[in-house]
Amino acid sequence: MSQSADVSVGDAAARDLLVDLVEIPSPTGDERACAERLAAFFEERGREVRIDEAGNVRAPADDSVLLTSHIDTVPGDIPVEMTDGELWGRGSVDAKGPLAAMAAAAIETGVSFVGVVGEETDSRGARFLVEDREEPDAVVNGEPSGWDGVTLGYRGFLSGEYAVSTDSAHTSRPEANAIQDAMAWWQAVESAFSTESEAAFPSAEADGNADGEEGASADDDAPVFEQVTAKPVEFSGGVAADGLSVDATVEAQFRIPPGETAAGIRETVEDELESGEIEWNEPIPPVMETPRSEVARAFRTGIRRVGGDPRLLRKTGTSDMNLYAAAWDCPMATYGPGDSELDHAPNEHLDLGAFDRAVAVLEHVSETLQS
């Protein structure tokens, strides 16, 4: 499906959209008001748009490239204000800056656009999208990379809950209770992955040019990107309500680098079980795109045209691009204005000059992929 790109947005309208989106709170699960404002931006400019069953804002058009970013944010009330050319507010960086920049570029160039919901938790918007529409020719996912950076790789994600129970006993007894079992298990898990990382990566130096590509560079987190990271995110335990047992649970998350699998991580974790059991959630696989794809090349050219020195990045976290790469066999990358160090931070803010440059880069990329 294609629609003509005969409406010019302009820097002022793009910035107005950005401010409106940041001013409308949209923590995960409460994205509707923000989605309606985004949809109105397309309706006012004559574009077909709808909010689908999942809550995604979908503006189908030229599928030479799909521009997509997320509407939801993590919780947190940061007063919205403009200071010295910077917009402060929750979501200004993650990811309403990329979202607004993509909406403006989609209007200017006539390419397809989707604003998805739920990225900060279960990615329900992206999961619905890959099941509900055909594969586009290319994808640009919206997350902060800095206006002169483009992200080609993300680690995958695996989570699970460990649970253990022991009979209650007097605390003077020497036998370990469930809380101690859970603590010992987690220490063993951390040790197992620490040993694997040290064996595989004895040096902590960052990589040089990625894949030898001109203008390509690895981010400073390169050694971390290539390792499994194990992290407990919630630990609870105590005497059960009936007083007959001591129970403990650990919510754990694992980041999966390219070259590793969820099955391999599960095996390592389960090898450390002496008691208790683990219930695993559905994993998200890692992704590493080539810097030689037409999408990566278009970004390098576009960033240079706007006066930047392109940086090719690999991120230690996980994004919706992982799901798109698993479902669709097309070139893709992640891009957006903003310093990712400010993701979820209490001082989250976005440089508006960088936002304007990102819109220009996205327009160039979209036009290049259309040709």
Residue bearing the bigger pLDDT, 108 or 195: 108
pLDDT-based confidence at 202, cuts 50/70/90?
A: very low
d(CA 196, CA 134): 40
* pLDDT value of residue 305: 97
Say if residue 120 carries a ligand binding annotation: yes
Q: What percent of the chain has pLDDT over 70?
A: 90
Say if residue 143 carries a ligand binding annotation: yes
Q: What percent of the chain has pLDDT over 90?
A: 87
pLDDT tens, 66-103?
999 999 999 999 999 999 999 999 999 999 999 999 99
- Cα 327 to Cα 13, 284, 341, distances in angstroms: 34, 11, 29
Under a CB-based contact definition with an 8 Å cutoff, are residues 149 and 313 in contact?
Answer: yes
Query: Across residues 173-197, what is the average pLDDT?
Result: 92
Amino acid symbol at 9: V
d(CA 358, CA 336): 7
3-class secondary structure, 6: coil
Q: Fold for 10-155+286-370, please state it.
A: Aminopeptidase (3.40.630)
Give residue limits of the domains in the chain: 10-155+286-370, 159-280
Under a CB-based contact definition with an 8 Å cutoff, are residues 320 and 121 in contact?
Answer: no
Mean of the per-residue pLDDT values of the chain: 91
pLDDT tens, 245-277?
999 999 999 999 999 999 999 999 999 999 999
Query: Across residues 270-296, what is the average pLDDT?
Result: 96
Say if residue 221 carries a ligand binding annotation: no
- Of the candidates 119, 226, 289, 367, the residue annotated as catalytic is 119
Question: Taking the domain 159-280, which CATH number applies?
Answer: 3.30.70.360
Q: Do the domains 159-280 and 10-155+286-370 match in fold?
A: no
pLDDT at 205 over 70: no
Q: How many CB atoms lie under 10 A from the CB of residue 1?
A: 8
Q: Angle at the Cα of 258 (from 256 to 301), degrees rounded to 5?
A: 120
- Of the candidates 31, 62, 63, 72, the residue annotated as catalytic is 72
Tokens found for residue 72: 């939801």
Predicted TM-score of the model (pTM): 0.86
Helix 32-43 × helix 10-23 angle, to 10°: 160
119 part of the active site: yes
* pLDDT value of residue 367: 98
